[in-house]
Structures are given as structure tokens and as C-alpha cells.
Amino acid sequence: MCGIAGIFHAETPKPVDPSRVERMCDALAHRGPDGSGVWTDQGVGLGHRRLSIIDLAGSPQPMHTPDGRAVIVFNGEIYNFRELRRELEQAGFTFRTSGDTEVILAAWQRWGVDCLKRLDGMFAFALYDRDKRQLFLARDRFGVKPLYYAPLSDGSIAFASELKGLLAHPLLRRRVNPQAIEAYMTWGYVPDTHSILAGVEKLPAGHFWLLEQGRTPGRPQRWWDIDFTQRERGSEADLSAQLVHLLREGVRSRMVSDVPLGAFLSGGVDSSGVVALMSEASSQPVQTCSIGFDVAAYDETSYARQVAAKFGADHAERIVATDDFSAIDQLAAMFDEPFADASALPTWRVCQLARERVTVALSGDGADEAFGGYRRQVFHHHEERARSILPAGLRAPLFGTLGRAWPKADWAPRPLRAKSTLLALAESGEEGYARGLSVMLPEARRVLYSDSFTASLEGFRGEDELIALMRAAPGRSGLDRAQYADLMFWMPGDILTKVDRTSMAVSLEAREPLLDHRLVEFAARLPEGMRVKGSTGKYLLKKSLERYLPHDILYRPKQGFVTPIAEWLRGPLAGAARGIGASGGLAQTGFFDPQAISAMAEAHIAGRADHSRTLWQLLMLEKSLTQLGVSA
């Protein structure tokens, strides 16, 4: 796991100042504290910060092929590199190191861009071919590893693992992208389709970009997609056996390491299943770690302790006080772009705990997206059945009228919170799912925006990109399209960004065995009834893990990391909430209506309403813009 950065002149190869690349890499030192390197040639410069995981002493970067024709900087891990190495050796290649970086170089020389389809791993890399004068930028299938890039005023393209790497380049303009603000207010994060800074882009997951000196750059191209149009055949027992085999393969392949390795353990289905399979594959106790809270309603450590005891894990846990809000400035600096998923704080804390004991930790991320584990996916599955029965001409006036009249009752028992469901049923499936996934609806956002900011959006609406993605998704059903959107849009922008930044902030490598692409491709082919059955999501996954895990672990209500931000914003952060609209940096941007924000803050502080999610979003946006030092 590492940080990479570089500069490339496509149309007119100009000299690259090595010190600029070095400064970009220094901004990424947390991603790679074990070593650094810079290489430059006419029109190109590559830089690297290394966190040593495999071949600790033998794979420094930038790395060259033996003949010097190609050079690479690489962030990530290739789990099947030993198998690829044997295949390449049979084709006549020789290797000087025992790591995975050199295998990518040889794979490029052997197969060109098609080498990507042979790589099983998480990665972002930049490879320069001196003979072809080409720069090959690539990102893994799911976007586990990030890669930002920006065209600059001198004609070059700069790239880096994180935005802070680009910020170290003196020619990068720091001007806010209004559409990114709208997307952030819609989703609570800036999706990969945008960057908070105008002119900066992210290489999308499953894409590569091939640049050649002397030619005008084209656009990135997709090299991998996931297909929900096919269906597996077989009995439940047969499908379960295939699933367990793929789970084992995914976990075992990610246990290869030359440094101490462990696992995050929340006590939920996914992380518990990973620990169970790690224990099965290991001759030593698995090192696990958990974070809990000093308020029982937010704490899951008893479940994690139960799983750890069952598998004889070497378990560590730490209780975080619910007044752990003092770290929010560090969180803003960690993410660069605004990021309002409040579970980032406990995720960072569990990464800190893990790093005290190991350098690599396996997580349970990805199963909900792949197997239909989110409650919103289950609801959408059933809503789509209702939509198929009632024509749109009847649904829109009936459910729309009821939904608008129904009171918003977040405090009420779940069966009485019908407003969102009624409004969703009045819309198309894609629009309804976007409404359910968004953290702030269009009508609520419009109340907060200033007139000038609304005009600057030129009609852009955050939900539209997700809706378009779902409509074009390779799937048969509404559930297929919802899962596709979660895997391709929500997961890289929220879940994987959260884990990457919080783990890399403490120089910890996090691996996601449940995102093994063969496992996810199998899950996409499962019949809908094997993913969602009744009110149960991840049906086949849970049934398959019954041989490993207790019933109360598998079938208890999903909880996840919860942070008490509502209490913070009524207590120690009440002053900060008031300041957002009145005197803070956000008010000075002119993007928002200060009076609307102040009224929202006062209603929340007085307990008349719960606006904690929106206030937290605005607070994190303000801190992010202040950290970036941007202008409107």
C-alpha cells in the first residue's frame, strides 16, 4: 500500500522538475512511511511513497524493467501475482524481485492494456513506456484505491493518490466546483463523477487512461463492468457450496503478507464471516480489533467479543467516548474533500487500534452491496413489485398526494414512517431509489441554497447521475439496478473512500476479501430470491455462514457504526452549529442562505427537530473548504 504522484506532458514534452514531484509525494507520506523515490525523463515524472507489505527490501519504486523500457509507480496489492509470475516465466520473462510490482511491468510488456483483466487485486498505478512514449494510468475494478488528476496551465497533467498530492503542485487552481457542492449535499460525499475543485477529476473505478506524447489526450476507457443480466442455475445447496468456495478463496488470497496481519471485527455478519474463514485458514490465532462506545445504544463490542471467543482470536477492543468530537478537524484534513459519513470517526479509531498490532487488516466491506444486504435494497425490491402492478398514471397522483400529506415522523416506529415510501412509489424505480439513498432531498437543498448558487448549477441535480446510471445498468430487475448503482456509485465514493483515507492516515493497509471480483460476479448472477427473501437481505450469504456463525450474529438487526452527532450538535458543538450560518467561512462563500441555516440550527439545538445530519454535512463542508483554502 502506497502513495503515487506524477506529472506528464502529453502534447509538448517539457522537462519535469523532480522537486515538484517530490513535494507531491511528501504530501502523501502517511500512505508510505517506509521509503520514497522519484524518477524523471523528458516530459514525464513519477513519484512514490512506500508502505512495505510484500518483498520488504526488494521492491523499491519507481521500478524499471530490466531493459529500462518501462517504469512504474504502484499503489495496492496484486493477490494473484505468484500465479502470473509463473505464467510469465514460462513465456521467457525473468524477475529480479519477489514482489508484485515487477509482475505488473512484465504483464504490460506481454499483454498491453489487456493485462488489467488478469490482475486480481486493488490498485492504482502509473506506468510509462519509454519506447511507445505512453503513460498508462489504471484503477482497480471497484475503486478500492484512488487516483486524482488535473490538467494544468503549462500543458501538463498532474496525478496523485489523494487530492493533497495535487495541492502540492503550485499550478493547481483552488476554485470550487458548484456541481460538486450539490452532489455532496445530495449524498454526503463527493462522488467519483466530481471533485470539490473545478478542473480536478478522479479516474473512475474499472477504467484506464492511455496517454501518448505528441497526441491530444482522449478520455479514460472502461476495462471492467459487472453484469446482472445472467442468472445462476442450481439448488440452494449447490449455490451455497459455490459461494463458500469463493468466500474461502477471497479470504485466503488476501492473507498473503510479509508483515503482521489481522482483521476488523464489528460483530456483524460480514466481518464475523471473514474472521471465521481466516481462522479456518490460519494455524495461528487471528488478531482482531473492535471499537465500542461508552453509551450502550451505540455499542456492539459484546457481539464482537462473542465471535472472537468462538474462533479463539487474539482480540483487542477500545471504548471511544461519545465526546470524541474533537477530532473533526483531523478528519477534514484526512479526506481533503468534504465527507459527512459520521462513521468515518469510529472507522479511523479502529484503524488506529489495528495499527498498534498489525500492518494489514481485512474488513467485511462489500457484502451488502453485492448480496442485497441494505434495508433500502430490500424495500426497493418490494416497491418495484408494487410499481409493476400499478401503472404510473395511477401511482403518481395516488401515492404522491398521500406522501405529500403524510407527516414526516423520523421519531416514530418504522411502520409509521411512510412518507418516504409513499413519495418513492409515486416516482419511477430509479427516482425512488435515488430519493431513498440521498441524505438530503432536492426540496430541502433548495431551501438552503442562495439564489446565485442555484443559478450557478444551471439545472444540475445531484440525483440525476445515479438515476441515469441505474437506467443504463446491465440488469434485469429493480434490485439488479439498485445493487449496480451501489457497487458503482455509492461504494467507491463513500465506503471505500472512508476506509482508504482512515486506514492510510495511520499507514495501515485495509483489504476487502468480500470484494473479490469473482465472488461479486457470482453474487450478481444469483436469482433475486437468493439475495432477498421476504424481509431478509443477503439471504444465501447468511444461510451459507450458518455452519460458522451463531444465529444471533447472523440474524440480529443490522446496526453498523453509529456516532452521536445529534447530541454533539445540541451540546458541545452547539456553538459550531450556530456559527455555520452566522459567521463561519461557509457563510462567506455566498452558496447558502445564512438565515435558513441559522433557523435550522436553532430548531435542532432547542430539540424541536433533528437536523443533525444536515448540520454535520454543513460543518464538514465548512471545515473542508477552510482546509483547502479555496475560493468560490
Q: Tell me: the pLDDT tens digits for 221-266?
A: 999 999 999 999 999 999 999 999 999 999 999 998 888 999 999 9
In our burial notation (b when 16+ CB lie closer than 10 A, e otherwise), range 53-68 reads: bbbeeebbbbbbbeee
Is residue 291 part of an annotated ligand binding site? Answer: yes
Delimit the domains of the chain by residue range.
Answer: 2-222, 236-372+481-555, 564-631
What residues act catalytically? 2
Checking if the pLDDT of 573 tops 90, the result is no
Give the start-end residues of each E strand in 441-513.
Answer: 509-511
CB–CB of 432/399 below 8 Å? Answer: no
Lowest average pLDDT, out of 143-157, 229-243, 391-405, goes to: 391-405
- 2-222 fold: Glutamine Phosphoribosylpyrophosphate, subunit 1, domain 1 (3.60.20)
Q: Is residue 583 a known part of a binding site?
A: no
pLDDT band at 1 (very low <50, low <70, confident <90, very high): low
By DSSP bridging, strand 156-160 and strand 2-9 are antiparallel
- Establish whether 364 is an annotated binding residue: yes
Domains 2-222 and 236-372+481-555 share a fold: no
Q: What is the pLDDT at residue 512? A: 97
* Mean pLDDT calculated for residue range 571-600: 86
Is the Cβ–Cβ distance between 173 and 198 less than 8 Å? yes
Phi first, then psi, for residue 284 (nearest 5°) are -115, 155
Please provide the average confidence, as pLDDT, over all residues in the chain: 91
Confirm whether residue 503 is marked as ligand binding. no
Give the pLDDT of residue 396: 54
Spatial CB neighbours of 177, under 8 Å, sequence gap ≥ 6: 194, 195, 196, 197, 198, 199, 200
**Ramachandran assignment for 79, one of left (phi > 0), alpha (psi -120 to 50 degrees), beta (any other):** alpha
Q: What is the mean pLDDT of residues 30-52?
A: 92
Which pLDDT belongs to residue 415?
A: 44
Q: Average pLDDT in the 509-520 region?
A: 98
**DSSP reduced 3-state for 109:** helix
Give me the pLDDT at residue 421, please.
65
Superfamily for domain range 236-372+481-555: HUPs (3.40.50.620)
**What is the greatest pairwise CA distance in the chain?**
73
Q: How confident is the model over 517-553, as pLDDT tens digits?
A: 999 999 999 999 999 999 999 999 999 999 999 999 9
* Three-state SS sequence of 136-174: EEEECCCCCCCCEEEECCCCEEEEECCHHHHHCCCCCCC
Confidence of residue 412 (pLDDT cuts 50, 70, 90): very low
Beta bridge partners of 290: 317
pLDDT at 416 over 50: no
